[in-house]
Each structure stands twice: as C-alpha cells, then as structure tokens.
Amino acid sequence: MRTRREIIPLLKALTKKPDPVTAKIPDSTHTMITAVLDVLPNKNLMVLDYGPAEALNKKLLAADRVICTTRHEMVETRFNCSNLKQVKYKGEPAFAVPLPDSVLHLQRRGYFRIKPLTSHPAYLGLTLENDQVLNLKLIDIGIKGLSLQDNLFRLHTAQGKVFENCKLTLPANPSLNVNFELRYSASSSSRDGQEFNRVGGRFINLNPNDEFNLQRFINMVQIEQNALIKG
C-alpha cells in the first residue's frame, strides 16, 4: 500500500483492539512489543505505546529506522517507522512517529476465494433492465470477484455485462456498493441435486475502503471457519 487512502484506514483498524505490534531495530536484537494507540492524519502522525523498559525506549528513540510487524485479522502487516519522538498521550508517555509512506499488507491473494458460512449467507443485488433488483446468494467471494447462485435461472446476460451500484450485503459488516462484471455462467447442482445457474464475475474499480472492508469480512469468515473446525 502506498497511498494515504489505503494506509490510514488500515492503521486505524490496528487501534481498535489494539493489535500487538513488534517493533525491531534493524541489524540488532533489540525488539519491543508496542501498539498503535491513535492515528492523526491531519498531523501526519501515528501514536505508539511506550515500553516498560526505559533503556529500550531510548534505543528506539535513537534508531534511524524501526520495523513494525503485526498480524491484523490473520494478515501479516509490516511498516517502517523513523524519527520517533517521546510525547504525552492521554497523560502517559508514548511515541509519536510520522505516518509510514508504505505498508506491506499481505492480503493480495487475488484469486483466493472463500465460502460464506451457511448460517450467515451473503447476497449481491443486481439491477435488471426492467429496474427489478435480483438478490442472489454468494457461493464464494474474494478480493477480485465472486460467484453467485441463481436458483431460478433469471439472469440471462452475455459475458462482459457490467452491473453498476450493486448492493453487496455482508453479515456483521457494512454493505458495499460495487460494480460487477459478469464473466461466465454455467449450469450446476447442489449436494441435494437441485439445479441452478452458477454466475461468476469480477469487481470493477473497487475503491480502497471497500476493498479493506471486504478483506475484513473474508478474514472474519476464515476465523469462524477455523473455530468450527477446532470445535
């Protein structure tokens, strides 16, 4: 990630729990567990938690660069910090650091797809030519696109058709408005033998905020699926 539109929402998400962050001085054994306490875009600053060991805090303050690594919703996230300053935040010592120019967020598994839980289905609303909205249940979804289950074979459209402002309804997450390009349709059948039309396609010009929310939903489903497997 290299734009503020991508970086700032991600850093703000790190403040919610907050996620533990490992701060390491390169080419040394000096590491410390910290956390992102606040993100101040207007000041181009991020606030990090201060450590309990003052000697290590001083080493971080004197370092030219500090590498910060965390796992947010099962996704590894890494960024560099420089020019750390000691400040007071809500009456307590903290680090203030300029917002990073880039963030490595290893979620770009472009063709990875996950199936929403049967107990919590997700839907995409497509507006047809007669202005009727056709709500179809998702079979699977990824950052780049999704596939849908058309039980009544109502979607009769040629490949390449673009549906604009489709409402993507995700359980326990904000709904998204997306542009969806139909790439294929094929007859399929469920485990109980029910025939349906499987429709697949890709998102067009998904903005960074919607992509972030979609990735969060995918991670949430992964966590729930892993919990079910472990019992």
Residues 37 and 136 in one domain: no
In this structure, is residue 113 part of a structural domain? Answer: no
d(Cα 29, Cα 49) in Å, to the nearest integer? 20
Residues 129 and 214 in one domain: yes
The residue-averaged pLDDT of 175-189 equals 89
d(Cα 95, Cα 8) in Å, to the nearest integer? 18
Residues 3-17 pLDDT 10s: 888 899 889 989 987
Residues 151 and 198 in one domain: yes
| Lowest mean pLDDT across 24-33, 42-51, 110-119, 144-153 | 110-119
Residues 181 and 213 in one domain: yes
Residues 198 and 142 in one domain: yes
In this structure, is residue 111 part of a structural domain? Answer: no
CATH number at residue 171: 2.40.10.220
Residues 70 and 138 in one domain: no
What is the layout of strands, in order, in the sheet containing 85-89? 85-89, 92-98, 45-49, 31-40, 20-24, 66-72, 75-81, 104-105
In this structure, is residue 110 part of a structural domain? Answer: no
CATH number at residue 22: 2.30.110.10
In this structure, is residue 38 part of a structural domain? Answer: yes
Residues 78-121 pLDDT 10s: 899 999 999 999 999 999 999 999 988 765 455 577 888 888 89
Two tokens, residue 188: 């399929």
Q: Report percent pLDDT > 90 for the chain.
A: 58
In this structure, is residue 112 part of a structural domain? Answer: no
pLDDT value of residue 111: 53
Range of the domain at 10: 4-105
Residues 46 and 93 in one domain: yes
The upper half-sphere exposure of residue 215, i.e. CA atoms within 13 Å in the direction of its Cβ, equals 23
pLDDT value of residue 117: 83
pLDDT beyond 90 at 219: no
d(Cα 72, Cα 20) in Å, to the nearest integer? 9
Residues 100 and 10 in one domain: yes
In this structure, is residue 68 part of a structural domain? Answer: yes
In this structure, is residue 116 part of a structural domain? Answer: no
| Top-confidence residue, 27 or 231 | 27
In this structure, is residue 128 part of a structural domain? Answer: yes
Q: What is the pTM of this model?
A: 0.55
Residues 169 and 214 in one domain: yes
Q: How many domains does the chain have?
A: 2
Give the ranges where the chain is alpha helix by DSSP (H): 4-14, 54-62, 208-230
Residues 141 and 91 in one domain: no
